[in-house]
């Protein structure tokens, strides 16, 4: 994950520097949401069967973690689930070093 974050960081900082002065912020907000959802999807795929334990370590309750871990939905659909968004929040990605496109 560290390798992906470091590569993504260089791209995002470049995009932010180039497009950051645009007057249309909605496109940047949508792109920022999509990037974080894609990262959540990637993390869920990497976790595989250990998703329950990992979500519990992130502070998610038993029932919510169980519902996500045993869901028949794929990682892309689960990446937008409220429980996953709470566990893998924007704060989590900020601590990893992923910059936001909309924050100054």
Does residue 103 sit within a domain? no
Does residue 101 sit within a domain? no
pLDDT digits (tens, 9 = 90+) for 34-64: 999 999 999 999 999 899 999 999 999 999 9
- Write out the residue range of the structural domain in which residue 88 sits: 2-96
Predicted confidence at residue 104, as pLDDT, reads: 57
Does residue 102 sit within a domain? no
When divided into structural domains, the chain yields a total of 1
Instruction: Please choose, from the candidates 19, 5, 11, 10, the residue with its C-alpha nearest in 3D space to the C-alpha of residue 102.
Output: 19
pLDDT less than 70: residues of the chain:
104
């Amino acid at each position: 994950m560290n390798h992906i974050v470091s590569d993504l960081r260089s791209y995002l900082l470049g995009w932010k520097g180039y497009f950051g002065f645009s007057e249309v912020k909605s496109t940047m907000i949508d792109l920022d949401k999509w990037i974080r959802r894609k990262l959540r999807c990637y993390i869920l795929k990497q976790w595989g069967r250990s998703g329950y334990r990992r979500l519990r370590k992130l502070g998610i309750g038993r029932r919510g973690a169980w519902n996500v871990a045993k869901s028949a939905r794929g990682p892309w659909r689960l990446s937008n689930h409220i429980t996953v968004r709470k566990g893998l929040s924007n704060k989590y990605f900020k601590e990893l070093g992923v910059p936001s496109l909309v924050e100054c």
